[in-house]
Amino acid sequence: MIRLLLLIPFIGLLWVPFYNFREPALFGFPFFYWYQLSFVPVSAFLTYLVYLKVKHDG
């Protein structure tokens, strides 16, 4: 069940019309870019959480 957390970045980035906008900009980056870049640390953290849980389960 914990492995379903890995679907969050996949679903969040799969639906491009959701984040295909220029505004709001963050530090000069359009929303399109910083939304995608924000998923890099989020994905790493979720992968780490799933790894810890699965490592102790098996």
Q: How would you write the chain as a 3-class SS string?
A: CHHHHHHHHHHHHHCHHHCCCCCCCECCECHHHHHHHHHHHHHHHHHHHHHHHHHHHC
pLDDT in tens, 1-41: 899 999 999 999 999 998 999 999 999 999 999 999 999 99
Q: What's the pTM?
A: 0.82
pLDDT at 1: 87
What does the pLDDT read at residue 58?
59
Is residue 54 within 8 Å of 1, Cβ to Cβ? no
56 band by pLDDT with thresholds 50, 70 and 90: confident
**Looking at the predicted structure, is the pLDDT value of residue 51 above 90?**
yes
Query: Which residues make Cβ contacts (< 8 Å) with residue 39, sequence separation at least 6?
Result: 9, 12, 13
